[in-house]
Amino acid sequence: MEANGLTPVPDSYDYDLIVIGGGSGGLAAAKEAAKYEKKVMVLDFVTPTPQGSSWGLGGTCVNVGCIPKKLMHQAALLGQALQDSRKFGWQLTEEVKHSWMTMTESVQNYIGSLNWGYRVALRDTKVTYENAYGEFVGPHTIKATNKKGIEKLYTAERFIIATGERPRYLGIPGDKEYCISSDDLFSLPYCPGKTLVVGASYVALECAGFLAGLGLDVTVMVRSILLRGFDQDMANKIGEYMKEHGVNFIREFVPIKVEQVEEGTPGILKVTAKSTTGDQMIEGEYNTVLLAIGRDPCTRKIGLDKVGVNINEKTGKIPVNDEEQTNVPHIYAVGDILQGKLELTPVAIQAGRLLVRRLYAGETTKCDYVNVPTTVFTPLEYGACGYSEETAVEKFGEQNIEVYHSHFWPLEWTVPSRDNNKCYAKIICNIQDNERVIGFHVLGPNAGEVTQGFAAAIKCGLTKEQLDSTIGIHPVCAEVFTNLSVTKRSGEDITVSGC
């Protein structure tokens, strides 16, 4: 102990590192620290949703995010493939129906195997895991409360906060009583039936898309614009495609009340909504109301005030420096809770690993939050890397950027003769910098697979000339990027009639 008898010396701590949150970022950091023979603990606890849903180790992405979302998106794509198959000669004799229960059971079984895998991985690397809620009670002390309410205190030299976010509620009568969120949807024990999706986030549009693809009656209620923060040209094209494929949109309305008309699985709910531009009110009945209006960081109830960690009071986000360090030197943070950073699983994983290597392996590499590729798994998938067109214009000036674009028609869609001139490719180039590609956008099948490869090239400083000199692979969708010749400012026609 030090002379004042209050501050313990490092060798008297229980752990070298305690990670609060067992999601993508937290687990990556914990396992990385264990490689350097550090004594590590992970605390993970899922507070059940208002509807009672909870899940195992692994965080949002694995349990109620990317993984079940993409599997259910795949279920919807298979439905479309079954329709297409008739034109390719497949003769389906029986009526094709979808079983919600079979799908959710299969998805949940796979997720269960992942939960188990994470626990085994922690055990194998000698990381201590406790299914308990972590809360700071002193500078180096944390209180862990398990589901039985039993409390334990642990000390550590350093801490990483990786608590992630949870869905936001509207704060209107009936929202928590009757509505569900993405935290409930993927394990819902019954088919949701006629569904109202509230929100215009990527979560809202992805869920609306696959539910409609499974044959359900789906309506999306949008307050203002689709996919705020994404390229609006692409966002509007996604909206148009979804509308053409049977998703209803109610624009510029917000719910003000949700009432139960009839109990059941699903029951019937009455939604009253108000115009955002006037006094008009509307009512509608649905079996399920899914809220996807945004997510809030889990930072307000973990004792940060007791240790002096600053948070943005309005958003709950934690400001950090370029080394993921908070204003309290021995407390770090990674993932969706960071202010001004991307809310993406691979970003959290990369940041967590690199942080630990800097702390324990003497490395200096910092997480690069620039040119991070991402994909929105709407029915027509959207892949993006770099600047949106709006942001590029704002940063470099319209006269200094050139936008090259084209529609394309996937060969696989030509025989069923569907959705011509819906897929779209666009790159944004900085004229002042040798036409370097600063924005990449694609709407089409397998957009994530296409975007991932180009993201590596963009990181290497890809220019339009280099793209043009690349020989395309025929006949694939990504080939379109090797022969983009029409600029947006020219106003020339970009429709296509064949592959």
CA 232 remoteness from chain centre: 18
E strands present in 147-246: 151-161, 165-167, 180-181, 195-198, 218-222
Task: For strands 15-20 and 40-43, give the pairing.
Answer: parallel
Considering the candidates 98, 140, 441, 474, report the single residue annotated as catalytic.
474
Please tell me whether residue 325 adopts helix, strand or coil conformation: strand
Distance between CA 281 and CA 261 in Å, rounded?
Answer: 19
407 catalytic, yes or no?
Answer: no
Distance CA 109, CA 276 (A): 42
Contact 43, 147 (CB under 8 A): no
User: Is residue 25 classed as helix, strand or coil in its secondary structure?
Assistant: helix
- Other C-beta atoms closer than 10 Å to the C-beta of 244 total 12
Judge contact between 78 and 43, C-beta under 8 A. no
DSSP 8-class letter at 341? S
Q: Which of 477, 453, 481 is nearest to 467 (CA)?
A: 481
CA R_g for the chain: 25
Question: If you count DSSP H runs as helices and E runs as strands, how many of each does the chain have, helices first?
Answer: 14, 22
C-alpha distance from residue 269 to each of 53, 121, 175, 185, 189 (Å): 20, 43, 11, 16, 18
CA 449/CA 99 separation, integer angstroms: 28
Q: Which two tokens stand for residue 302?
A: 């973990």
Could you count the other beta carbons within 10 Å of the beta carbon of residue 461? 11
Q: Which residues are catalytic?
A: 474
